[in-house]
Amino acid sequence: MSFGPSPWQQTNWEWRAAGNFIGGGAGAGLIVFAALSGAAGGALAGLLLAGLVLVGAGLSCVWLEIGRPLRALHVFFNPRSSWMTREAIAATLLFTVGIVAVVAVPGCKWAAAVLALAFVYCQERMLQASKGIPAWREPLLAPLFVATGLAEGGGLFFLTLPLHEAGTLSLFALFGAIVLARMLVWLAYRRRVAPVAVLEAIAALDRAGRVLQLAGTLLPLALAFAIASGAIAGAQVSWVAAIAGLAATTAGAYMKLAIVTRAGFNQGFALAHLPVRGAST
């Protein structure tokens, strides 16, 4: 059913919209981890640039979704009430500061990290503004998407660890803590959405939840424990960390895809008084 009193699945935002949340969140998270790491010189520049490319790829997905792409600049016209406008402004500032940080201007990497977090927050608020969709309007979606962006970015950072070797044990512990926090927020989110979402939306969330729990949480945490306990050492550490990062990133992307495209059921509407032919009231 596409319209009526029963809930129906929205069709305006599909895989291209989900691509914005996936690419933007992962890119922003990678910029944050790049700033926190001990990377310098070419390694830092490469990580920051990769994060900006992912953010740009996500925004390009939205641009492809627009019916009239040449009017995309109109998105900047309503900053007082539109989270999409605020996202665009945050992205513009992020690219400006990020490029400056890439050319190794001292201190700019921290400004880029702050703007990356602001960008992810604006992204989530766009979803939350859709009050007619129970799976989107839930307030816990904000910390869930922020934590997921950081987990995806951290996953990409450790996925590329064999290339830059800028990871530390403390940074890997932070990554594990974020992965665990994401799972806890997800469980709370799923519990709060259950009473108000339709069965089809809950089924989509549960499928994503199983992937998030097994591949996105348990596997990375088990590998993190193996590294911390010394069971894995030497050259194998980088590759095991890369596997943990890949699992956390992939599961987070699948979860976002499910929320945007498969759990986006409208709540429908109800008529308190139906018209009756021949009745005066």
* Model pLDDT, residue 6: 72
Q: What is the mean pLDDT of the chain?
A: 88
Within-domain flag for 42: yes
Within-domain flag for 216: yes
For range 22-48, the mean pLDDT: 94
Three-state secondary structure call for residue 14: coil
Map tokens 């306990």 to a residue: 229
pLDDT band, very low/low/confident/very high, at 144 (cuts 50, 70, 90): very high
Six token digits for residue 173: 């512990």
For range 233-246, the mean pLDDT: 90
Q: Is the pLDDT of residue 68 over 80?
A: no
Question: CA 232, CA 243: separation in Å to the nearest integer?
Answer: 13
* Model pLDDT, residue 81: 75
Q: Which of 273, 36, 28 is nearest to 175 (CA)?
A: 36
Q: Which of 152, 151, 169, 161 is nearest to 43 (CA)?
A: 161
Six token digits for residue 32: 């944050």
**How far lies 108's CA from each of 16, 46, 128, 143, in Å?**
31, 15, 30, 25
Within-domain flag for 276: no
Among 46-50, 87-91, 131-135, 222-226, the range with the most confident prediction by mean pLDDT is 46-50
Within-domain flag for 239: yes
Within-domain flag for 58: yes
Q: What is the pTM of this model?
A: 0.89
pLDDT band, very low/low/confident/very high, at 254 (cuts 50, 70, 90): very high
Q: Is the pLDDT of residue 4 over 80?
A: no
CATH number at residue 203: 1.20.1630.10
Which residue range is the domain that position 152 belongs to?
A: 15-262
Six token digits for residue 100: 């400056």
Within-domain flag for 270: no
Helix 199-213 vs helix 169-193: angle between axes, to the nearest 10 degrees? 160
* Model pLDDT, residue 1: 44
Query: Which residues, 6 or more positions from 220, have their beta carbon under 8 angstroms from its beta carbon?
Result: 155, 175, 176, 179, 244, 245, 247, 248
CA 8-14-15 angle, to 5 degrees, is: 145
Question: CA 98, CA 113: separation in Å to the nearest integer?
Answer: 9
Q: Is the pLDDT of residue 65 over 90?
A: no
Within-domain flag for 278: no
For range 89-98, the mean pLDDT: 95
* Model pLDDT, residue 273: 64
55, 27 Cβ separation under 8 angstroms: yes
* Model pLDDT, residue 272: 60
Specify the number of domains making up the chain.
Answer: 1
Within-domain flag for 201: yes
